[in-house]
Structure 1
Amino acid sequence: MTESRGQAPRSGLSYLPGEAATDPDGTLTAIGRSWTWILGSAIATLVPGVLVLVWPDETLHVLAVLIGLYLLLTGAFRFVTAFGREHGERVPGLLVAVLFVLAGVLCLRHPMQTVAALSLIVGLTWLVSGILTLYAALAAPDLPHRGVVVGVALLGIVAGIVVLAMPTASARALTRLLGLWLVLLGIGELVFAFAWRAALRRGDALPGAAGPMD
């Protein structure tokens, strides 16, 4: 991750010599480096947040399903974008992917749990993923738009701390808080997606960074 890989194709997909050794078709690696894949992850975060804010009085079951689907979809995006990294830098991304998927499964398996329990699950997920993302960003000095990635990572850390610090708040307050942070994180990922597209078009996007929350 110390040198540019040259001009990326207009589609935002880039390949590396020798990557077929681990990905015969290069498909996962190429998709993981696509700005549109990052955009999809941002939308998967933003849409549930908007829905929660628009309908804050929906049943706990609906809230749990929305949060669970958000976590599962985000985990899937994180898993693929982890393959946009070089071998030595995939571990943080894969750990975050597993964390999101496990949290999503937990929400969907027990949809009638309390809002406080949902907040605990989501808060821990955001906190740990934010820390891992921050570590990965600081360890990659040549990362394009590293400031944006660091900013989104810090946003995730703050979101996790704030949500975890309010376990006794009213159900309505916690619901609105979860929705608000989902929207903010989604906007942050949207910013990164378009910044990544700009980096790809300039040809300076590096393979070591595939997304702001991985």
Structure 2
Amino acid sequence: MAMSRDPASRTEQEHEPDGAAPAPTGDAAYVLARLGRSWTWLLGSAVVTLVPGVLVLVWPEATLHVLAVLIGLHLLVAGAFRFVAVFAREGHERLPGLLLAVLYVLTGVLCLRNPLQTITALSLIVGVVWLVSGVLTLYTALAAQDLPHRGVVLGTAVLAIVAGIVVLALPAESARALTRLLGLWLVLLGLAEVVVAFAWRAALRRTHSTGPRTPVPAA
């Protein structure tokens, strides 16, 4: 995930510990924006990536059916996290995040609807998702103004791009090999997202101590 700053000064807002401004009661968009600005939401997204990676690594004998279900559930939940994060951004920054959320949900549904697919098909699905995710995150990181910890976000984007290329260029010949490959990359991506989450928390704390401008996360 990437992070950008809201260009508008918010001197009249009271900031909460997680960096989100109070939301008007009953306004779903503001509630989602408030949640998406929280560093703990980013950490939750990282855990959603890290946990499936650990599961598939410690369960190398998992069948292709089980692997497809795990990947499908991961993509669905990750898509939900990214959809909420869209509301925390400005209008012109929402499109990449929205596209990414839709991609995650659609591919997650595809994995769950047809879990008995071939190894090649599953590798193709995951590789494309990671590649597109990395490219969109890279674009957001480069286009966002006043981006805190830009290097961390760029590193995460590059890691996702490399993961996608590796999975696409080196298709596994067996379910066991594919499990190890996907598990390894999920763990690496999850750890990278954990770093981004804690970097985001540091940026929020600096914002609280130096001024009223509120940084806004972007996927």
* TM-score clears 0.5: yes
One-letter amino acid matched to 2:39: W
Distance 2:180 2:172 in 1: 14
Which residue number in structure 2 is paired with residue 12 of structure 1?
A: 19
Which residue number in structure 1 is paired with residue 57 of structure 2?
A: 53
Q: CA deviation at 1:117?
A: 1.2
**Is residue 2:131 matched to residue 1:127?**
yes
Q: CA deviation at 1:95?
A: 0.2
1:81-96 maps to which residues of 2 (within 5 A)? 81-96=85-100
CA contact (8 A) 2:45 2:81 kept: yes
Which residue number in structure 2 is paired with residue 180 of structure 1?
A: 184
One-letter amino acid matched to 1:206: P
CA contact (8 A) 2:56 2:179 kept: yes
One-letter amino acid matched to 1:129: S
SS at match of 1:47: helix
CA contact (8 A) 2:76 2:104 kept: yes
1:1-214 maps to which residues of 2 (within 5 A)? 1-2=6-7, 8-14=15-21, 23=27, 26-203=30-207, 206-207=215-216, 209-210=217-218, 214=219
Deviant stretches of 4+, over 3 Å:
1-8
Bigger mean CA deviation after superposition, 183-192 or 160-169: 160-169
Work out the number of aligned pairs and report it: 205
SS at match of 2:215: coil
Distance 1:144 1:14 in 2: 19
Q: CA deviation at 1:168?
A: 4.9
Q: CA deviation at 1:93?
A: 0.2
Distance 1:24 1:54 in 2: 40
RMSD: 1.9
